[in-house]
Structure 1
Amino acid sequence: MTAATPQGHNSIGSTSTLAFERARKVFVDGTTRVTIERDPVPRYMESGEGAFLRDLDGRRFLDLNGNFTTLIHGHRFGPVIDAVTRQLQSGTCFANPTLTEIDLAELICGRVPGAQTIRFVNTGSEAVMFAIKAARAVTGRPAIAKIEGAYHGAYDWVEVSQSSVPSNWGAEGAPNAVPYYRGMPASVLQDVVTLRFNHPELAERLLAANAGRLAAIVLDPMPSRAGLIGPKPEFIEAIQRAAAKHGILIIADEVLSFRQGYQGAAARYGLRPDLITLGKIIGGGLPIGAIAGRREVMNVFDASGGKPLLPQGGTFSANPLSMVAGLASMKALDQAAFAYLEGLGDRLRKELVTAIARHHAPFCVSGAASLFRIHPKAALPNDFREATPNAAQTHAAKELSRFFAEAGIILPVGAAACLSTPMTTDDVDHVVSVFDAFLAARGDLIESLAA
């Protein structure tokens, strides 16, 4: 394979720099999302089409971020544009239901095992929050268990141990409940049991020890920020066994990982959840979230006889724009589309590994289906602790992302990268060639990682 070289893309264009100067006057740190990457300022985008973005300075980038894996059909997907345009002419939101929310609900419930009924909300964070509340309403218990390092949105209980570090994450067999922000209530920490991913014996022991107060186990089948590592079958079996034994509900958080297959990630890995949280790709690029699951659990939302056990509303829940966009996107995500993405992902990961071997570089690749992550580590991590980078690895990841940007590719730093349906084998091969060029050009980094 011929190595690619950077195409003259400056790290950040002058127009983005000027925009950031304006932004700093109205936003405390110049942005409204902590997840926005800056090098040293954010790269402002003007438009997107297919698999590509164009910034304010007119430079074109292959987009491996996809708005944090949301845009599985890329930018300006025709069926979504058409559906939203038609809906705009009919109205943007109503205080009444629409037929399209039924259509989208039928599609998802007909596809996802265990999704007998569903409720739409506005974000993935909101979906996780209401799923946890539903588990509490069913069990009468307050606490949850979650995976160390896993991200589940902005709800206090799932933020615990989201960004723990070696100095505070606790002993190998006794993970601490670590606060995410200053002032997080101690009562929140007391109601969260932190589990280590892919440690079945430890998980069963901690779940048994806290069974009387646990309402739910919140589990992303392949937690992205915790390393985008696949689950061991014995870990899934341990979670299932402990949940059944102790009457704990399983919440599969598939807000991000749902894109791993036609039926989702839980089905892919043999997990049988009581509740499933969804978002991102089911909205076609518009804000959305959803809670789905077994009817006897979802009945806590039932308001037909008066006040439900768990009231849930939302001014923009099931808004028509998100519903029509989501329906158009999901209809196009048929089994052939998933098979295509699976093939692209397999090709990319295989060729990245081949490049690593060719250069004898201390890197590895994780992920599945249309998701991947390049780790500046020689061995594939097993859990969040093993995936957490040291200073040299953090520097290498940032340098890799910068090199990709210079070559016209947006590669997230330390997070899941993704493919989309408009991408081609040529696009995937270009990603590999740029990575190969990085390894060839940055022997200094390889040496520092190997030291």
Structure 2
Amino acid sequence: MNWGLVSSDTGDGFPSVGQRSKDSFARARLVFPDGTSRATIERDPAPLYVERGMGSYLFDVDGRRFLDLNCNFTTLIHGHAFAPVVEALTHQLQRGSCFANPTESEIELAELLCGRIPGIDRVRFVNTGTEAVLFAIKAARAFTGRSKIAKLEGSYHGAYDWVEVSQAAAPDNWGDPIAPKSTAFYRGMPTSVLDEVVVLRFNDVEGVRRLMSLHAHDLAAIILDPMPSRGGLVAPKPEFTAAVQEAGRINGIPVIADEVLNLRQSFQGASARYGLVPDLVTMGKIIGGGLPIGAIGGREDVMKVFDASAGRPLLPQGGTFSANPLSMTAGLAAMRHLNHAAFAHLEILGDIVRDGIGRAISIRDAPLCVTGAASLFRVHPRAQTPNDYREIYPTTAGATLMKQLSRFFAENGIILPLGAAASISTPMTRADAEFIVDVFSGFLDSHQDLLDAIEVYRKKTQ
């Protein structure tokens, strides 16, 4: 089928960013340190400013329409302006936006999560995924009386010092493969934080067993994303999941599953999909229906650290906007419509995209691969499927190709996150999935020079 593909511009400009977006960015540079309010905003060289969203599409301020594969960093599983959420929010806004007192909507959303996600007996709501991770780690510390944590190299868990350790590790500082170093994420990160984090490699079975056993008396928890997004959207080996589970049980180390992003992998989440039985689960993104939210859930005995019924709890936790009725109402509407049929639809579309991209790569013998599961996928500038963060670390040629891939998609009407998880939403159709594959095939056919550069580098480093 002919989609009227256009070729990517290789100069300094980004033709899919219109003049009004450029003008808006010029204004923003006068009030924000770098012209943006989030480090995650992509710009090439200016960001694409959005006017509105509807279903699976975004419309920028210059009137252009884009199929949205970012979905606000995988949050909008029902796409934009999802009617049940809009209706629920309109109803709630007429009754108030936030109160110091609790509302019944928070009970209803908590009941849904406890009834759906295995291992969640109790829930506490917060405002962001970062806050959920922060309090899950604090809960594990309060429960065990220990302070150190273990985490996976390269994994993202939000903006909390301890989980930022080795988030941006690089070849010049990440250390020995069998004993990764704890590396600072930002200038001035306290060395005491680095000393309190044990860094593990994803899918390293022996490393997990050895390092968790070695530090057992100090570890309050191991935190892991069942399929690390920033680590490449690579599936966990069953033996790795089993090793984490066993090491946690033998050594009395609580396992925290960070499902802020990956809860969208199935009706019961990602841990259930991969056979992980965590003690605590952090949630966010999809459970808020597009509004700010975070949640910590887990076993009743661990969650008891939040219990203030008999006085000061082992772990005090509050928040002016925690469990606010807007987020609770929007989340409840969104989650109620995430039924088994919705997940089956997402799974089918995800398979179409990943299989189609895989076939396009195979037919052309391109040095690329695709990873992911369910409604998530990610393209890598390497021929072999990676095992962990070190294997997806970008080369100069690979980074250039991925930037051009994102540009090419934008020029053909698709927002593809740069080097991150792309996500499918329920309003998308089979035609949308086929369009994604067709645009990708068009990119391969028009960028042979960049593909050749990656292959030359691969041969030099073999």
Q: Report if the CA contact (8 A) 1:83-1:328 is conserved.
A: yes
Counterpart CA distance in 2 for 1:10 and 1:212 is: 56
Q: Report if the CA contact (8 A) 1:4-1:434 is conserved.
A: no
Q: What is the deviation of 1:12? A: 1.1
Say whether 1:282 aligns with 2:287.
Answer: yes
Say whether 1:435 aligns with 2:440.
Answer: yes
Q: 1:86 aligns with which of 82, 87, 91?
A: 91
Q: 2:186 aligns with which of 181, 184, 192?
A: 181
Query: One-letter code of the match for 1:176?
Result: K
Q: Report if the CA contact (8 A) 2:226-2:270 is conserved.
A: yes
Report how many aligned residue pairs link the two structures: 451
Show the counterpart of 2:350: 345
Q: 2:204 aligns with which of 199, 206, 217?
A: 199
Say whether 1:415 aligns with 2:415.
Answer: no
Query: One-letter code of the match for 1:75?
Result: H
Secondary structure of the equivalent of 2:106?
Answer: helix
Deviation per residue, 1:303-324 (Å, 9 max, x gap) = 0111000000000000000000
Q: Report if the CA contact (8 A) 2:7-2:408 is conserved.
A: no
Q: 1:357 aligns with which of 356, 362, 371?
A: 362
- Identical-pair percentage: 63
Shift in alpha-carbon separation, 1:7–1:52, aligned structure 2, 3 A: farther
Show the counterpart of 1:5: 5
Q: Report if the CA contact (8 A) 1:45-1:53 is conserved.
A: yes
Q: What is the deviation of 1:435? A: 0.4
Deviation per residue, 1:6-37 (Å, 9 max, x gap) = 29993211001100110001000000100000
Show the counterpart of 1:161: 166
Q: Report if the CA contact (8 A) 2:346-2:375 is conserved.
A: yes
Counterpart CA distance in 1 for 2:402 and 2:64 is: 23
Deviation per residue, 1:320-366 (Å, 9 max, x gap) = 00000000000000011001101110111001000001111111000
Show the counterpart of 2:237: 232
Q: Report if the CA contact (8 A) 1:120-1:289 is conserved.
A: yes
Q: Write the mapping of 1:132-143 to structure 2, written as runs, cut at 5 A.
A: 132-143=137-148
Secondary structure of the equivalent of 1:211?
Answer: coil
Counterpart CA distance in 2 for 1:103 and 1:174 is: 45
Q: 1:266 aligns with which of 222, 246, 271?
A: 271
Q: 1:20 aligns with which of 25, 33, 39?
A: 25
Query: One-letter code of the match for 1:260?
Result: Q
Counterpart CA distance in 2 for 1:172 and 1:83 is: 50
Q: Report if the CA contact (8 A) 2:7-2:446 is conserved.
A: no
Shift in alpha-carbon separation, 1:376–1:7, aligned structure 2, 3 A: closer
- Structure 1: give runs of 5+ residues left out of the alignment: none
Q: 2:333 aligns with which of 317, 328, 332?
A: 328
Secondary structure of the equivalent of 1:212?
Answer: coil
Q: What is the deviation of 1:149? A: 0.2
Counterpart CA distance in 2 for 1:217 and 1:180 is: 19
Show the counterpart of 1:366: 371
Secondary structure of the equivalent of 2:151?
Answer: strand
Counterpart CA distance in 2 for 1:313 and 1:46 is: 35
Query: One-letter code of the match for 1:192?
Result: V
Q: Write the mapping of 1:374-393 to structure 2, written as runs, cut at 5 A.
A: 374-393=379-398
Q: 1:252 aligns with which of 254, 257, 262?
A: 257
Q: What is the deviation of 1:168? A: 0.4
Counterpart CA distance in 1 for 2:105 and 2:426 is: 24
Deviation per residue, 1:178-223 (Å, 9 max, x gap) = 0000000011000000000000001110111111100000010000
Counterpart CA distance in 2 for 1:212 and 1:395 is: 45
Say whether 1:317 aligns with 2:322.
Answer: yes
Q: Report if the CA contact (8 A) 1:4-1:430 is conserved.
A: no
Q: 1:55 aligns with which of 49, 55, 60?
A: 60
Deviation per residue, 1:114-143 (Å, 9 max, x gap) = 001100000000000000000000000000
TM-score between both structures, scaled by the size of structure 1: 0.99
Query: One-letter code of the match for 2:5?
Result: T
Query: One-letter code of the match for 2:239?
Result: E
Q: Which runs of 4+ in 1 moved over 3 A?
A: 1-4
Counterpart CA distance in 1 for 2:194 and 2:7 is: 49
Q: Considering only aligned residues, what root-mean-square deviation do their CA atoms show, in Å?
A: 1.0
